[in-house]
DNA sequence: ACCCCGATCGTA
DNA sequence: ACGATCGGGGTT
């Protein structure tokens, strides 16, 4: 039996990510999340692509126009899930970052899950479909979650830095990170 | 109440 | 490169 992708990247013993990890500057968190082992229900793998959305001065951030019922979670404590619907059909998963009151989050855009074709989880909408994540998973504390776990990576992969995808404002920022 | 459009995806 | 698709966020 060969080692799975997630086992190869897992520290021994596995060390869960802490809330303070997510309280760091969002761009740093997004970069450091690349290669991080993830476990959700019977799925295990690593994070391969992320983007940072940083505060009310970031025009691409949902919270750029202030707090609304939807963006309220982004203003809350770090380490919580922010799930939103895009294009009327796709759910996307974020993890809230930075101090309470400062709206920011990391969008999880890609995963490599053990035993699942990469092409099925190489987009934010696609990975939520595979994991069966929807609005019911919004505003969950991912630091103390019975079914969702993130661990320190033993070693990360080489990381590409690029502009964010699919946005019309804030394209100057190099806040997308991809596992090479 | 309702209009409008998007942090996408799949097929060209 | 582009069109399909449509729920709900933001504003009326």
The nt closest to A62 (CA vs C1′) is B7
CB within 7 A of strand B (chain A, 48-87): 51, 53, 60-63, 74, 82, 84, 86-87
Q: What is the pLDDT of residue A5?
A: 83
A138 to each of A9, A32, A75, A91, A94, how far by Cα in Å? Answer: 27, 23, 13, 10, 9
d(CA A148, CA A163): 28
Q: Look at A8-12, A63-67, A103-107, A159-163 and tell me which has the smallest mean pLDDT.
A: A8-12
Q: Would you say residue A81 has pLDDT above 90?
A: yes
Task: Please report the pLDDT score of residue A1 as a whole number.
Answer: 63
Confidence of residue A164 (pLDDT cuts 50, 70, 90): very high
How much is the pLDDT for A176?
96
Please give the distance of CA A129 from its chain centroid, rounded to a whole number.
15
> Is the Cβ atom of A168 within 7 Å of strand C at any atom?
no
What's the rounded Cα separation, in Å, for the pair A51 and A175? 6
pLDDT tens readout for residues A118-127: 999 999 999 9
Amino acid A112 CA to nucleotide C12 C1' distance, rounded Å: 44
Distance A67 CA to C1 C1' (A): 35
Spatial separation of the C-alpha atoms in residues A85 and A87, rounded to whole Å: 7
Any atom of strand C under 7 A from CB of A84? yes
Å between CA of A123 and C1' of B12: 20
Across A60-88, average pLDDT: 94
DSSP string, A40-55: ETTEEEEEEEEEEEES
Other Cβ atoms closer than 10 A to A145: 15
Q: How far is CA A102 from CA A46, A91, A99, A107, A171, in A?
A: 27, 23, 6, 16, 21
For residue A142, which phi and psi values (nearest 5 degrees)?
A: -80, -5
What's the mean pLDDT when you consider all of chain A? 94
The band of A10, judged by pLDDT with boundaries at 50, 70 and 90, is confident
Strand B: positions under 7 A of a protein C-beta atom? 5-10
Do residues A177 and A166 touch, judged by C-beta distance below 8 A?
no
Name A153's bridge partners.
Answer: A10
Pairing, β A43-54 against β A37-40: antiparallel
What are A103-150's pLDDT values in tens digits? 999 999 999 999 999 999 999 999 999 999 999 999 999 999 999 999
A168 touches strand B (CB under 7 A): yes
Count other C-beta atoms under 10 Å from residue A39's C-beta.
18
Gyration radius from chain A CA atoms: 15
Checking if the pLDDT of A69 tops 70, the result is yes
């Amino acid at each position: 039996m060969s080692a799975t992708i997630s086992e190869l990247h897992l520290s021994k013993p596995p060390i869960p990510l802490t809330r303070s990890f997510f309280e760091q500057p969002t761009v740093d968190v997004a970069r450091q999340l690349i290669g991080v082992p993830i476990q959700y229900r019977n799925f295990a793998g690593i994070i391969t692509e992320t983007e940072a959305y940083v505060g009310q001065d970031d025009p691409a951030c949902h919270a750029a126009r202030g707090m609304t019922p939807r963006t309220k979670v982004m203003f809350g404590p770090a380490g919580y899930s922010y799930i939103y619907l895009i294009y009327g059909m796709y759910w996307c998963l974020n993890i809230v970052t930075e101090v309470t009151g400062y709206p920011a989050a990391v969008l999880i855009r890609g995963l490599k899950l053990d035993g699942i074709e990469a092409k099925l989880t190489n987009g934010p909408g696609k990975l939520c479909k595979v994991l069966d994540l929807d609005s019911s998973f919004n505003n969950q504390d991912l630091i103390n979650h019975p079914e969702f776990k993130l661990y320190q990576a033993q070693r990360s992969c080489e990381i590409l830095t690029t502009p964010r995808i699919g946005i019309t404002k804030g394209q100057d920022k190099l806040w997308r990170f991809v596992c090479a």
